[in-house]
Amino acid sequence: MASTSDADKPSVSNVEENRTRLCEEFAAVAGTDSAVAQCYLSENEWVMERALNSFFEADLERVFEEDFQQKGTSPKTKRDKVEEKPAGNCIDLTEDSPSTTRKPPEEDDGKLSLISWNVDGLDTDNLPERARGLCSYLALYTPDVVFLQELIQPYVDYLKKRAVSYLIIEGGEEAYFTGMMLKKSRVKFVESEIVTYPTTKMIRNLLVAQVNFKSQKLYLMTSHLESCKGHAQERMKQLHVVMQRMREAPEDVTVVFGGDTNLRDTEVAKVGLPSSVCDVWERLGKQEHCRYTWDTKTNNNKNAPYVSRCRFDRVYLRPATKEGVPHLAPDHMALVGLEKLDCGRFTSDHWGIYCSFSAG
Q: What is the pLDDT of residues 318-345, one digit of tens each?
A: 999 999 999 899 999 999 999 999 999 9
126 located within any domain: yes
> Average pLDDT over the chain, rounded to whole?
86
112-118 and 145-151 beta bridge pairing: parallel
Residue 4 lies in a domain: no
DSSP string across 231-299: GHHHHHHHHHHHHHHHHTS-TTEEEEEEEE----HHHHHHH---TT-EEHHHHTT--GGGS-SEETTT-
Note the pTM of the prediction, 2 decimals.
0.82
User: Is the predicted pLDDT of residue 156 greater than 70, yes or no?
Assistant: yes
Q: Are residues 39 and 72 in the same domain?
A: no
Same-domain check for residues 44 and 68: no
How many independent structural domains does the chain possess?
A: 2
Per-residue pLDDT, 155: 95
| Domain membership flag for residue 127 | yes
Whether 1 is in a domain gets the answer no
List the strands of the sheet with 205-213, edge to edge.
Answer: 187-196, 205-213, 216-224, 253-260, 313-318, 278-279
Which CATH number belongs to the domain containing residue 305 in this structure?
Answer: 3.60.10.10
Q: Decide if 163 contacts 92 (C-beta within 8 A).
A: yes
Look up 260 and say whether it is catalytic: yes
Cβ atoms 195, 241 nearer than 8 A: yes
Decide: residue 347, CB within 10 A, 0-12 exposed, 13-18 middle, 19+ buried: buried
In a domain, 2, yes or no: no
Beta strands in 15-165 (DSSP E): 82-83, 112-118, 145-151
Q: How many CB atoms lie within 10 A of CB 338?
A: 13
Query: Residue 205: how many CB atoms within 10 A of its CB?
Result: 20
For residues 40 and 146, membership in a common domain is answered with no
| Alpha carbon distance 289, 69 (integer Å) | 40
- Whether residue 6 is contained in a domain is answered as no
Window from 95-104, 180-189, 218-227 with minimum mean pLDDT: 95-104
What is the domain range of residue 249?
A: 63-359
Secondary structure of residue 105 in the 3-state scheme: helix
Shared domain for 39 and 123, answered yes or no, is: no
**CA distance linking residue 211 with residue 183, whole number of Å:** 11
At residue 87 the predicted structure's pLDDT band, cuts being 50, 70 and 90, is very low
**Given 120, 144, 157, 260, the catalytic residue:** 260
